[in-house]
Every structure is written in structure tokens, then in C-alpha cells.
Structure 1
Amino acid sequence: MSSTPEIKQVETHQFGPYKIRTSEVFLSTPLSLAMVNLKPVVPGHVLIIPRRVALRFQDLSHEEVADIWTLAQRVGSVIEPHFGAVSLTFAIQDGAAAGQTVPHVHIHCLPRKMGDFENNDEVYDKIDEHAEQMKERLDLDKERVVRTPDEMAAEAAELRVLFT
């Protein structure tokens, strides 16, 4: 009698049109998720998203706004010292004209160090550059050459223990 190998289902969350593996999420609340970034601008650059897919910030409920920013505050307070940073940049690109390429509200949380960019506001150029690359890409798996699902899962596991 032959047995069929068991197919393991990978639990995912929705990030706009993309599936995010649960292994890439390091902290969650009933309304929001904190996840590692496919292509971080600086070490520790993570994203905080509402669980519900909402295109624009104005589409969030008052509860979701409070929850996503509370989670961003909690995440920032832990990843800043973990990555040896001295400051944080929080950024939202709200709508296509603002550079949003994934149609789902998300907060970029970047640990910052003195001199990490020659001109401090270059961080926004880097976020925009990254967004443009994301818009132009045709194959998500091709982009993942930068960070594999295993690399992202490993970073999420590293961060997850900081919140237990």
C-alpha cells in the first residue's frame, strides 16, 4: 500500500496582492502585524500593516489606526536598541502619488544610526527607490533573490524572541 506524502500548508497573511508567510511575521495583535521586509533599506527595516487589507490610511477604522501605531511604537522601542540604532524613521506612503506600490496601508519602521545616510532625508529617497523597484518588478520570486523566505523567517524568529 503506497502512502501519499503529507502536504504541509504554509499559513499566510495578505499584504495587498501578496501572500506573506506567517514565518515572516514577528509580532501581531488582533488588528495588526509586524513583519520583516523583503528588501530592507537599512538593517532592521520592518513593516507594520493592518490585518485587514485597506488601500489608504483614511480607510482604517479608529481602532485600526490606534492599534497599528501602538504596534509601531512597541516594535520601534525594541528594534532600535537591537540594531544598535539611536533613532527611528516611521514612514507611510499613502496612495500611488505618494509612492505607495503595495495597495495596502503599511508603516515603514527603520532603525537609524548617525551618518547612515550622507544627508539624513536621503532615507526617503531610498524608500522611494525601493518602491519604484517593487513597482517595476515582474516576478516576485526573482526579487526574493535579495532575501529568501528562509532568510526572512530567520530574521523574524530573531525578532520574535525579543517580544516574548
Structure 2
Amino acid sequence: MIRTSAHPCTFNVASQDRSFGPWTVHGSEVFCESDLSYAFVNLKPVVPGHVLVSSKRVVPRFLDLSDEESTDLWRLAKRVAGVMEQHCGVSALTLVIQDGADAGQTVPHVHVHVLPRRKGDFEENDQVYDAIDAASQDQAAALRSHAEHHDKDVHVDAKTSEERVPRSAEDMAAEARKLRPLFG
């Protein structure tokens, strides 16, 4: 049984690119949208099925969202979480917001990490938070470095972790294509 809200989720094949802080998420990487939020695949997922949900309006902190935006963000996160739990065949999830630099936020745009979890996926359960921090810092550093020298919307290969390598734009688009029908 899918435990999701009836929150409408749409996707237009010609979906527009979205800003993610100072960077661009290509429409091909977006798999679900609501009026004020969107869900997209992750460049460097911590676990299989690790996706992100963000507000469409670029705001750095959760408290900067309007009441309508924060409600929409969490409703979409709940919908995405329910579908990803079933799709990945798991019985648990971790949902995380790193709100501000002191909390580990590396992209100055509100976003929720949705991570499908399996028993034993980390030696100690709380290691997932260290993995999110490390992946976020690696990704942001690589994106900043690349943006200084190239187009801001090109995906960067930040090979600081042997276990998690950044995926190509083609791989990310393929994952988004597989996920879209689940939200129909």
C-alpha cells in the first residue's frame, strides 16, 4: 500500500530548468513538480534513491519561505518520500534539511534530502548524516570551482569519495525518466 498524500504532482516533458542556489537543475533531471516546489535527482546520492525536493523560489533558509511555500515543500516531500519508499523497496526513510551554513548547508537554497533507508545501510545509523555532509561539501566545492571557469550548469566530477561518484547528466536524466511515471 502506498502511503502518500494526494498532493498533485505534475511533470511537463518540456519542463523548464530550475535554479538551485547559484546553479541550474536541468528540466531533464526534474521528476515531479507542484505549484511551488520541485523534486529532482541527486548528482552524488548517498544511498540508492537519494533525491532532493526544493522550493521553486530561491531562498537560502527555511524561515525565508512563505507559509504557503513551506506547506507545499513538505507536502511534496511527503509525496516523494512515499513513492520512493515503495519504489526502492524499503521500510524507512531519512528526511533532512540542512538549514544554514552552521547546519552543514552548502547550497544556499532550501531543499529536503529524501533518503530511502535499509537496515544496515550504514554501520551505525547516524553515519548517514556525516555522509550527507561530506557529499554536500564535495558537490558544492566542485560546482563552485567549475562555475568560476565554465558554464554554471555543467555537472562536475568531484571524485573525493571512491564510494559515491558524481553521475553524468545522461544518467541523471535517465533516472528522472524512470521516476516520472510513478508520480502520474
Same fold (TM over 0.5): yes
Amino acid at match of 2:156: K
Alpha-carbon distance, 1:136 to partner? 2.7
Q: 1:69 aligns with which of 64, 74, 92?
A: 74
TM-score between both structures, scaled by the size of structure 2: 0.81
Q: 1:142 aligns with which of 156, 160, 164?
A: 156
Alignment size in residue pairs: 156
- Mapped pair 1:106 → 2:111: yes
Amino acid at match of 2:171: E
Cα pair distance change 1:114/1:134, threshold 3 Å: same
Q: Name the residue aligned to 1:88.
A: 93
- Mapped pair 1:54 → 2:59: yes
Amino acid at match of 1:141: H
Structure 2: which 5+ runs fail to align? 1-13, 147-153, 159-164
For 1:141 and 1:132, the matched residues in 2 are separated by 15
Write the mapping of 1:118-137 to structure 2, written as runs, cut at 5 A: 118-137=123-142
For 1:32 and 1:122, the matched residues in 2 are separated by 28
- Give a deviation string over 1:26-78, Cα, whole Å, max 9, x none: 00011000000010000000000000001100000000110000000000101
Q: 2:177 aligns with which of 138, 157, 161?
A: 157
Amino acid at match of 1:143: D
For 1:163 and 1:54, the matched residues in 2 are separated by 26
Identity among equivalent positions (%) equals 53
Q: 1:26 aligns with which of 27, 31, 40?
A: 31
Report the aligned-residue RMSD: 1.6
Q: Is the 8 A contact 2:155 2:169 kept in 1?
A: no
SS at match of 1:79: helix
For 2:70 and 2:82, the matched residues in 1 are separated by 18
Q: Is the 8 A contact 2:46 2:132 kept in 1?
A: yes
- Give a deviation string over 1:73-101, Cα, whole Å, max 9, x none: 00010111111211000000000111111
For 1:67 and 1:40, the matched residues in 2 are separated by 24
More off after superposition, 83-92 vs 132-141: 132-141
Q: Name the residue aligned to 1:117.
A: 122
Q: Name the residue aligned to 1:40.
A: 45
Alpha-carbon distance, 1:143 to partner? 2.2
Q: Is the 8 A contact 2:44 2:139 kept in 1?
A: no
Structure 1: which 5+ runs fail to align? 1-8
